[in-house]
Structure 1
Amino acid sequence: MKLSEIKNILPNLENVAFQLENGVFVPEHFHVTEIGITSKNFIDCGGVIRNENAVNFQLWNANDFEHRLKPGKLLHIIQLSEEKLNIQDFEIEVEYQNETIGRYDLEFNGTHFILKNKTTACLAQDACNVPQAKQKIALTELHKNEANSCSPNSGCC
């Protein structure tokens, strides 16, 4: 989700809620402790130099049980960060601590925001000669083409 998307969604919400993909909600008394830009400049295993930018939201679960972040307040924080940090319309990455600090992509399901698990991948698969994943076929699918199959006790196998 890009920053512009969350800015369009927030005015239509009564409450801001985040949920992990496993169904567990971030406690409703969370704080957004940071909004900023993260930049990643790196070289992949194929020798290509890459640059990535993201808008970073950091969620923090405090013992402040009376705290409830309202959509208007979050929108104000976003607008302030755009003004003061010159944040562009990048994809949002959310930091949230479970067992360790995790980084998540962000989606919206119509009622609340979903913290989507991130995955790794080789960015230079052609240079690394990573084999293509083999297509998995159920054995029951092998007999779909009867012209190319044998019947039991026919002696063709």
Structure 2
Amino acid sequence: MKLSEIKTILPQLDTVAFQLENGNFVPEHFHVTEVGIIDKRFIDCGGTVRHEQNVNFQLWDANDFDHRLKPWKLLNIIKLSEEKLDIGDFEIEVEYQGTTIGKYDLDFNGTNFILKNKATACLAQDACGVPTSKQKLALSDIGTNSCAPGGGCC
């Protein structure tokens, strides 16, 4: 989800709720402790120089059980960060601590913001020798004449 998308969604909400893909919710008394920009420059395993920019939200589960972040408050935090940090309309990455700090992509299901699990990948599969996936076939598609008695395979 891009920053412009969350800015369009927030004014339509009464509450802000973040839900993990496993169905668990971030406690409703969470705080957004950071809104920032992540500027990542790197070289992939194939030698290509790459540059990524993401907006970063950090969620924190405090012991402040009376705290409830309202949509308008989060929108004001976003607008202030855009002004002060010159943040563009980039994809949002959310940091949230479970057993360690996790990084998530952000989606919206019509009611809640969904923290989508991220996965690593090779960005240069053609250059670093990663084999292509084997085609999966159903055994029923192989045929009946292979290695059957009298089929001539042995």
- Which bin holds the TM-score, normalised by the shorter protein? over 0.9
Per the TM alignment, residue 88 of structure 1 is displaced from its structure 2 partner at its CA by 0.2
1:63 matched to 2:63: yes
Partners of 2:124 and 2:66 in 1: CA distance: 48
Paired position in structure 2 for 1:146: none
Tell me which amino acid in the other structure corresponds to 1:98. G
Please tell me the root mean square deviation across aligned C-alpha atoms, in Å.
1.6
User: Which digits, 9 at most, give the CA deviation of each residue in 1:82-125, with x for residues without a partner?
Assistant: 01111000000000000000000000011101101111111111
Paired position in structure 1 for 2:13: 13
Paired position in structure 2 for 1:156: 151
1:84 matched to 2:84: yes
Partners of 1:17 and 1:151 in 2: CA distance: 57
Per the TM alignment, residue 139 of structure 1 is displaced from its structure 2 partner at its CA by 1.6
Partners of 1:21 and 1:101 in 2: CA distance: 16
**1:132 match: secondary structure:** coil
- How many residues get paired? 152
CA, structure 1 residues 84+141, in 2 after alignment: closer, same or farther (shift >3 Å)?
A: same
1:97 matched to 2:92: no
**2:10 match: secondary structure:** helix
| Aligned ranges 1:5-154 → 2 under 5 Å | 5-143=5-143, 149-150=144-145
Structure 1 unmatched runs, 5+: 144-148
CA, structure 1 residues 9+137, in 2 after alignment: closer, same or farther (shift >3 Å)?
A: same
Partners of 1:133 and 1:151 in 2: CA distance: 24
**1:14 match: secondary structure:** coil
Identity of aligned residues (%): 72
- Normalized against structure 2, the TM-score is what? 0.93
Tell me which amino acid in the other structure corresponds to 1:56. N
